[in-house]
Amino acid sequence: MERIPADQGMLYYLIERLRPELARHIRENDEIETIIVGLGRQGTKHAGLMQEFGTKITAGIAPGRGGTRIHATIPVYDNVRDCLKEHPHIAAASIWRQYSTAKDATIEVIEAGIPIVILISEGVPIRDVRDILVAARVHNTLFIGGNSPGVIFPPERVKIGMLPDIFYPEEESPGKFGPNGVTIISRSGAILYHMSDALAGAGIAQNAVIGVGGDAAIGSTFSDLVPLTMEYPHTDLVLIAGEIGGIQEERLASDILAHPGRYPKPIIAEISGAHAPAGKTMGHAGAIVAPGQSYGTFQSKKEALEKAGVTVVNSQYDLIKVAREKLSRTYFDSKRYYDKMRKIWEAPPKTPSWGTTITKVEPNNLMISGYPLQQIVEHKNLLETAHLLVDGEFPTRQMLAKQAVVALRGATQSGPIVNQIAGEDISKTLAKCLLLDEALAKFPSEGPEGPVLKTTFALGRIANYLGTILGTSPALGGLSNFTQVIGQVITGKAVDLDIARMLEAMIVASVDHGVTPPSAQATIIASSTRAAYEVAVANGVSAITDVHGGAGAKAAQFFSECVSRSADQRIDLEKATTEVMSEYVRGGRRIEGMGHRIHTNDPRRDVLWRLAADTGIAARNVAVSKIVSKVIKQVRGMDLPVNVDGVIGAIVADMSLAPSLAKALFIWGRVAGLSAHYFEEIASQPKMRRINFAQAVYKGVPYREITC
């Protein structure tokens, strides 16, 4: 989203005056972080709207909801203190708490050292506002509100509050914004919107719009904010939108007369309420004129401001006329503003959606938290990938060491005694193990590291279950590397690390494919009912059948038949593959490991082929997997490229492993992805929601590459 650099805008200017050290951080990172305090219906709704506008909403604060997320990406903390431990560079906060608790929430933010605080809540008692003001002065905080519609800085694309997107910044060239313009400071949100719309329609840019709030007692007033914003070098003119009641406008006029040097730039004032009856509140608690008083009336404000040299207007027409005279310039072609608004007006209603930050699935492209899965397969191990899935980032060296200890503990600690019934699918057996595993059920998932470590323990438990099922577990206790554990469990013997790494790469290639596969849907649905972790993951594992997740095993069988035919009849692989495939087609048998519902070129395929070649594993089965697409084109006339299941099946066959182990590898990897979906669901979505999986939208980190 286009915006000016953060350190060129007015918001940065205000922060720098209050917290120079924080300003240095903003200058270095080009990002201004904000939080939202109070996550009721309005707070949650506007958190999303602020985020869509471009505001960096780093966190939300709601007691009792710590560890959850809103809008898929915004973490929630129980209090500001906990938030600042993780995010120490918060520059602004908006308060959306109910009036009875707004004081404590606002003072908590102020005392935490956050320099700019906007109180959106209305009806806050005057005595509470008094206490907030005392705290703000002690801690050098710019406090705005209550009953403020918020503030907006169009050039920076920062909105804090509920202001709509009807503002337009200076354009130095089409699409390239600049910091210059007029600053609007208003008591009324509605008048502010109309004023800004009129200015933008005349090609007059706004560099900042500030709603001071409409309650009887508020924080910063006109006499605080007008001279402050005038000091910002890119403000050319200040517009104030006043109204009857109180003495803000009269105090501003008195200050202008007493300290003219503080007001070097022109001011225009628009005052509402010229015909309001005395004693009647007009919208805001502060918009009331006491009967018989000579202050607070439209006339008293107009006379005081004009005496101080401020031009007072009472219509949008006069406002634009005077602004043009004082500015002698426009900031953009007004057609640009009308085009923008037309797009907003004519835009179709938003399609209902919900967010996931785990995996972005596009044709021929798979990204986990922004990283291409093929790069992850090539460069990262299973524990690192599990951390990325659950946490959104790769682990630190210290965290990876902790994961390794937990995974080995999971692999070697005694597990449930489960008998595999003859002919029973491995997915059913593993699901039973998960459901009956008391150690897994008791493993904690609380705290920042809890979800990752529980996922890690579960991956270790899969090693334990498979070792028991396959009879390969006796030597696990002597291993200190989880990659070696994988090799021992699958092959039943100690293998070279590169062989174990090949097995691990196939597991990593299978970890996740978004929210739509049946296994992910089953886990998410169970998670929505707040089923226990092991129950939800077992639910997903149970959905991995021959239809979903079983292609690798059947592909291994097919490739092995082709290789055997070639050897038995002493014919080349292509001819043998053609014969076997023709027999499959005549018999109505499906050739597994071919084609994909999304990908025409599965991004995981080539990296697995390359790793198999590099480790010397690739042999005749992999060779068949590389020609099978050509053969099926000849036999069936269909373009069906081999997919990741087919490549895994070929590698499993070349390693002389049982074909059924291809499915075991798939399940092992998928447990990591299912765990991530479980923890995301309980952290970011309401209980028992109606889930339309087609409405899921990826809201995670954009594309990035692994650099080490």
Whichever domain contains 240, its CATH number is: 3.40.50.261
In a domain, 9, yes or no: yes
> Do 48 and 175 sit in the same domain of this protein?
no
Residue with tokens 């239809």: 547
Tell me if 1 is assigned to some domain: yes
Cβ neighbors of 211 (< 8 A, separation 6 or more) are 144, 145, 148, 149, 150, 151, 161, 163, 186, 187, 188, 189, 192
In a domain, 125, yes or no: yes
Residue numbers of the domain that contains 29: 1-146
Residues 121 and 193 in one domain: no
Give the N- to C-terminal CA distance of the chain in Å, as an integer: 29
In what side-by-side order are the strands of the sheet with 33-37?
A: 69-70, 74-77, 56-61, 33-37, 90-95, 116-119, 142-145
142 and 163 share one domain: no
Within 392-474, residue ranges assigned H as helices are 397-412, 426-436, 438-442, 450-470
Please indicate, yes or no, if residue 396 is contained in any of the structural domains. Answer: no
Taking CA atoms, 229 is separated from 142, 151, 164, in Å, by 12, 13, 22
Are residues 134 and 214 both part of a single domain? no
* Complete DSSP assignment for 1-41: -----GGGSHHHHHHHHH-HHHHHHHHHHT--EEEEE--SH
CA distance 105 to 694: 39
Judgement on whether residues 169 and 117 belong to the same structural domain of the protein = no
Domain boundary among 347, 378, 401: 347
Question: DSSP assignment of 299-332, as one string?
Answer: HHHHHHHHHTT-EEE-SHHHHHHHHHHHH---SS
The rounded average pLDDT for each run of 10 residues, N- to C-terminus, in the chain (708 residues) is 91 98 97 97 96 96 95 96 97 97 98 98 95 98 96 97 92 92 93 90 96 93 97 97 90 96 96 68 51 71 95 92 93 93 91 95 95 97 98 97 97 88 91 97 95 98 95 81 95 92 97 97 98 98 91 93 95 94 90 84 92 96 94 85 93 95 96 98 95 96 91
Token pair recorded at residue 532: 């226990």
Strands 365-368 and 359-362: antiparallel
- Alpha-carbon distance of 534 to 573, in angstroms, equals 45
Structural domain ending residue among the three candidates 325, 347, 369: 347
The answer to whether residues 117 and 155 belong to one domain is no
pLDDT at 456: 98
603: Cα within 13 Å, side-chain hemisphere: 19
| 16 within some domain | yes
Question: Encoding tokens for residue 138?
Answer: 């002690």
CB atoms within 10 A of CB 342: 11
Helices (H), 163-308: 189-201, 222-230, 248-258, 298-307
Phi-psi sector, 688: left (phi>0), alpha (psi -120 to 50), beta: left
Contacts of 295 (CB under 8 A, 6+ apart): 247, 250
Tokens found for residue 537 = 């993951």
Distance, CA of 94 to CA of 107 (rounded, Å): 12
Q: Are 451 and 403 in contact (CB under 8 A)?
A: no
Please tell me the total count of domains within the chain: 2
Q: How far apart are CA 1 and CA 34, in angstroms?
A: 18
What pTM did the predictor assign?
Answer: 0.88
Establish whether 284 is a catalytic residue: yes
Say whether both 127 and 162 belong to one domain. Answer: no
**408 domain-assigned:** no
Would you say residue 625 lies in a domain? no
Assess whether the previous peptide bond of 146 is cis (omega < 30° from 0): yes
Residues 43, 171, single domain; the answer is no
Closest of 104, 110, 117 to residue 36, by C-alpha: 117
What's the CA gap between 94 and 76, in Å, rounded?
A: 14
Domain-located, residue 132: yes
Backbone angles phi, psi at 392, to 5 degrees: 90, -5
In a shared domain, residues 233 and 321: yes
DSSP string, 255-274: HHHH-GGG--S-EEEEEE-T
Which of these three, 117, 146, 175, is where a domain ends?
Answer: 146
Whether 342 and 289 map to the same domain: the answer is yes
What angle do the packed helices 605-614 and 644-654 form, to 10 degrees? 20
What residues does 270 pair with on adjacent strands?
241, 313
Q: Are 121 and 209 found together in one domain?
A: no
Catalytic residue among 46, 71, 139, 284: 284
- DSSP H or E stretch at residue 389: helix 382-391
The CATH number linked to 81 is 3.40.50.720
pLDDT score for 290: 46
In 10 A of CB 340, how many CB atoms? 14
Same domain, 10 and 33: yes
Strand partners, 209: 152, 184
